[in-house]
Amino acid sequence: MSELAILGGAPAFPEPVHVGRPNIGDRDRLMERIEGVIDRRWLTNDGPLVHEFEQEIAELLGVPHCIAMCNGTVALEIAIRAAGLSGEVIVSPFTFVATAHALQWQEITPVFCDVDPRTHNIDPARVEELITPRTTGILGVHVWGRPAPVDELARIAGAHGLRLLFDAAHALGCSTGGRMVGGFGTAEVLSFHATKVVNSFEGGAIVTADEGFAEVARLMRNHGFADYDDVAHVGTNGKMSEVAAAMGLTSLESRDEFVEANRRNYEVYRAGLADAEGVELIAYDDAEQCNWQYAVIEVGESAALSRDELQRVLWSENVLARRYFYPGVHRMEPYRTLFPDAGERLLQTERLAGRVLALPTGTAMDPADAATVADLIRRALLAGPELVRELRAVS
């Protein structure tokens, strides 16, 4: 126990080990593509690499239309607008804040629906009670890449005449019931942020099977321009640059390797934490396709340390585990001011937000590092009450 850094030992890692360290892929290929961008002097505005990237993504997901964007948040905003959402939209509060902000930014009220504690996704059994005459849609999120209950949500949306969109920022290359994420609802939104399994530095995309929707989203992405001098729609600037697409294409080429690295680390965590009392690594369905992008533990009541205490132990070892998505979007501004009592009916979300910790993974981490992290967690738990006493004394 004396070796734990929080008690004065040397940190297990000399440098910070981040959650979300970017996967890079083949540098030479990336540089070659960037040289091509410079040589062509075509830097953005629907360039050839963006086209190629869109085709690759559409093919991978088996959807007819992919519209690449500057980031996932703007892609969400455009998807919401292209779907004609207004009034109220039902959404999970257990997500990155961008999901709700994309609605609120357009003066649409996010109506937070509690989550299923097993899946961390929106609980379909709680959706219908939130529908009012102002409700126009449901925005599902595939948290951690574990698909939302797509069929139940489609049934509810269909029965009530609501639009259904999905925030698929975590779920590139994931499937449910053998069907790839990307084809559900009216449209799905991807993120290629630096921290995602496939990245384009910053980037995002709307994928859809609806041709009319795709056309509107494309117009909106480029200020509404249908042609030179012809503005056919209200729009914004959501364009992906060529350099971003260069990274996106290079990253896509190494996707299998990235997923494999995630999976290897996940398996090390699974083995290392199998007998860690009170700590559970979230499960993925082996029968489905999965990107294994998030290695997330839940720290339960029977653990010797609270989630926050465990996080402090890990941070002192330079393991920067993150409390995604603490404290829940409903407890962030402007939502906590707008809905001060929301927590009273979001009991599962509140409980979950107090338990989860995302551990580092990805290609920047090798399995030996993951084994060290798992070992630190086990040792911290074993140190138990004694460590808690010390922690409280130093806080």
Positions touching ligand T4K (CB under 6 A) are 18-22, 71-73, 95-96, 98-99, 141, 167, 169-170, 191, 193-195, 204, 320, 324
Contact indicator for 207, 60 with CB cutoff of 8 Å: no
**Pick 121 or 191: Cβ nearer ligand T4K:** 191
Q: Measured from the CB atom, is 120 or 255 closer to ligand T4K?
A: 120
Q: Tell me how many degrees the CA angle 142-146-147 measures, rounded to the nearest 5.
A: 55
CB nearer to ligand T4K: pick between 71 and 363: 71
**Cβ-based nearer residue to ligand T4K, 165 or 377:** 165
Enumerate the H helices of 88-138 as residue ranges. Answer: 98-104
Element (H, E) at 208: strand 204-208
Nearest CB to ligand T4K, comparing residues 120 and 170: 170
- Cβ 281 to ligand T4K shortest distance, Å: 18
**Nearest approach, Cβ of residue 150 and ligand T4K (Å):** 16
Give CA angle at 49 (47, 51), nearest 5°: 70
Distance in angstroms between the alpha carbons of the first and the last residue of the chain? 18
Residue 346 DSSP SS3: coil
Min. distance of Cβ 383 from ligand T4K in angstroms? Answer: 25
Beta bridge partners of 138: 90, 164
| CB closer to ligand T4K out of 148 and 381 | 148
Q: How far is the CB of 364 from ligand T4K (least distance, A)?
A: 8
Helix (H/G/I), strand (E/B), else coil: 334: coil
Provide the minimum distance between the beta carbon of 301 and ligand T4K in the complex, in angstroms, as a whole number.
26
Distance CA 126, CA 348 (A): 12
The CB density around residue 344, as the number of other CB atoms within 10 Å, is 9
Q: For residues 142 and 360, what is the distance between their CA atoms, to the nearest angstrom?
A: 20
Closest distance of CB 40 from ligand T4K, Å: 26
- For 318, the 3-state DSSP assignment is coil
What percent of the chain is helix, strand and coil (3-state, nearest 5)?
Answer: 40, 15, 40
Residue whose CB is less far from ligand T4K, 196 or 381: 196
Least distance in Å: CB of 314 to ligand T4K? 12
Provide the residue count of the chain.
395
Query: Residue 206 in contact with residue 188, Cβ under 8 Å?
Result: yes
Spatial contact of 69 and 54, defined as CB atoms under 8 Å apart: no
In this structure, the number of other CB atoms found within 10 A of the CB of residue 282 comes to: 18
Nearer CB in complex with ligand T4K: 31/394: 31
Q: How far is the CB of 103 from ligand T4K (least distance, A)?
A: 12
